[in-house]
């Protein structure tokens, strides 16, 4: 059994000056309006950028643990993903997608000089810390031998596949409410909900049959399903949930792109809830 990644915060460095990625996005004029530094470590970038007139706050689970309670126009996340395991990376991507305003942008900096991946003993703290290389499916705005910076825009704010205009999930409308996004999947509120807060979890790759998804894609969808459930539970306080996937026309699939329905349920929303999903076939 591999060790837990409970000491990843020990990789944060105390610096005397602004980091290279922060200086780069600052000089390019990319820090627009309200800014969040997600995973800010000891907060040096926040301190310097504030001095330069940037409206910025920092969040770090260990050093600045007050979680943001609003959305931001710009989010920066520098050298965080490299010290997280894959499921932790996915959680950060989903959280940032939720904290970003619909028309905002996020910038991720990842290291490109890592030669050893996995756990190692930290020289100073003598604790097991993790590191890995990270490649994101976002637009790269800078790369050298040490660092790469990606620009992220919400999935429904750009034309993903011009050849798939007929698919509402390949090119979701900008006015749809995006709940969360990861490298592989995204979630948004259902356009025609049968209950308050009904959500869809959708893989980005255009596939019509759930069973034709790769294990990685299926896992990404289930991981997001759990995360979106947290969002809906907090916002709508339902009493239960139904989870459903329609596969094929005989199973009532109307959009030829895999999507998982997460349906909040409430006491009294139907006269007799017995039978649950078995009720899709009357009697």
Q: Which residues have a catalytic role annotated?
A: 259
Q: How far apart are CA 58 and CA 53, in angstroms?
A: 15
Please provide the DSSP assignment of the chain as one string.
-PPP-TTGGGG----SS--HHHHHHHHTT---SSEEEET-TT-HHHHHHHHTT--EEEEBTTTB-----S-EEEEEEES-GGGS-HHHHHHHHHHHHHHEEEEEEEEEEEES-----EEEE-TTT-SEEEE-----SSEEEEE-SSEEEEEE--GGGS---GGGTT-TTTS--TTS-EEEE-SSEEEEE-SS-SSTT-EEEEESS--S-GGGS-HHHHHHHHHHHHHHHHHHHHHH--SEEEEEE--SGGGT--SSS--EEEEEE-TTSSS--TTGGGGGS--
Q: CB count, 10 Å around CB of 92?
A: 18
């Amino acid at each position: 059994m591999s060790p837990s990644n409970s000491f990843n915060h020990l990789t944060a460095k105390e610096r005397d000056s602004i980091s290279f990625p922060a200086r780069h996005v600052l000089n390019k004029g990319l820090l627009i309006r309200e800014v969040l530094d997600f995973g800010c470590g000891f907060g040096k970038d926040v301190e310097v950028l504030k001095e330069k007139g940037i409206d910025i706050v920092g969040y770090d689970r260990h050093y600045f643990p007050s979680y943001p309670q609003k959305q931001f126009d710009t989010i920066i996340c520098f050298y965080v993903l490299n010290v997280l395991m894959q499921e932790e990376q996915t959680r950060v991507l989903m959280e940032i997608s939720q904290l970003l305003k619909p028309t905002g942008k996020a910038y991720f900096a990842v290291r490109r000089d890592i030669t050893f991946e996995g756990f190692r003993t930290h020289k100073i703290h003598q604790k097991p810390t993790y590191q890995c290389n990270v490649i994101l499916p976002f637009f790269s705005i800078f790369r050298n031998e040490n660092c790469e910076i990606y620009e992220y825009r919400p999935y429904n704010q750009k034309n993903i596949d011009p050849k798939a205009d007929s698919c509402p999930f390949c090119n979701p409308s900008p006015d749809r409410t995006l709940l969360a996004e990861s490298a592989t999947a995204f979630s948004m509120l259902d356009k025609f909900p049968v209950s308050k807060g009904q959500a869809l979890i959708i893989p980005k790759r255009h596939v019509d049959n759930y069973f034709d998804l790769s294990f990685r894609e299926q896992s990404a969808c289930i991981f997001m399903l759990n995360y979106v459930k947290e969002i809906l539970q907090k916002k709508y306080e339902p009493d239960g949930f139904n989870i459903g996937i329609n596969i094929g026309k005989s199973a009532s699939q109307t959009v030829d792109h895999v999507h998982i329905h997460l349906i909040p349920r409430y006491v009294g929303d139907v006269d007799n809830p017995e039978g649950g999903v078995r009720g899709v076939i009357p009697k």
